Amino acid sequence: MVKELVVYFSVYGTARIVAEEIAKQTGADIAEIESAVPYDSNRDHYNALARLAKKEHDEDQRPSIKNEINVDAYDTIYIGYPMWWYTFPMIIYTFFDKYDLSGKTIIPFNTHMGSGDGGTYDMIRKLEPKAKVLTGLAVEMRDAENGPVAAVEKWLDSLGSLRKND
């Protein structure tokens, strides 16, 4: 039996919403990537978060992950994140640096405000050349907030991994 894990990083909660829907529809376990130094989740402070994200990106920083995630027990890893500066947050690089996903199937998903996946799915293929990376799902932030049920179902069905809950 294939064991699946949904791993996600989310500051404003939109990637979490999609992650929870994927876990619900597939029966996969779920784990959040938690930053050792929490990010400000107050949307009124968006500009400050954007500046911090740009600084991390420009300086090629690797923010520390607070929690351990047992990826070894899983065959398939769904990995989700918001788009920051047209790429994934630098903590996602930390995740790929920290965990060896060789031989696993990686299925990315992300939330965005108009940038789609920004080429991140191809970046994952470069970072994890010994893993199989399937077609990802890019969900606009407002669509995630309004409920991604149909989009997730259609995407999983296209991957052939939709599982009905008993």
Sequence spans of domains, the chain: 4-159
Q: What's the confidence (pLDDT) of residue 128?
A: 96
Please state, in angstroms and rounded to a whole number, the distance separating the CA atoms of residues 32 and 22.
Answer: 13
Q: What is the mean pLDDT of residues 67-93?
A: 95
Q: What is the mean pLDDT of residues 28-48?
A: 94
Residue 16 has pLDDT above 90, yes or no: yes
Helix (H, G, I), strand (E, B), or coil: what is residue 47? helix
What per-residue string of b and e applies to 65-91 under the rule 16 or more CB within 10 Å gives b?
Answer: beeebebeebebbbbbbbbbeebbbbb
Residue 162 has pLDDT above 60, yes or no: no
pLDDT digits (tens, 9 = 90+) for 94-139: 999 999 999 999 999 999 998 889 999 999 999 999 999 999 999 9
Residue 165 has pLDDT above 80, yes or no: no
Backbone φ, ψ for residue 124 (5° rounding):
-60, -40
Confidence of residue 86 (pLDDT cuts 50, 70, 90): confident
Q: What is the mean pLDDT of residues 17-21?
A: 98
Q: What is the mean pLDDT of residues 36-60?
A: 92
> What are the C-alpha distances in Å from 86 to residues 37, 67, 92, 132?
22, 26, 13, 23
Please state, in angstroms and rounded to a whole number, the distance separating the CA atoms of residues 74 and 17.
Answer: 22
Confidence of residue 76 (pLDDT cuts 50, 70, 90): very high
Give percent helix, percent strand, percent coil of the chain, each to the nearest 5. Answer: 35, 20, 40
Q: What's the confidence (pLDDT) of residue 166?
A: 31
Please state, in angstroms and rounded to a whole number, the distance separating the CA atoms of residues 7 and 16.
Answer: 9
DSSP for residue 39: P
Residue 1 has pLDDT above 80, yes or no: no
Fold for 4-159, please state it. Answer: Rossmann fold (3.40.50)
Residue 110: both structure tokens together: 């992300």
Mean of the per-residue pLDDT values of the chain:
92
Nearest in space to 39 (alpha carbons), one of 7, 69, 9, 80: 9
Q: What's the confidence (pLDDT) of residue 163?
A: 40
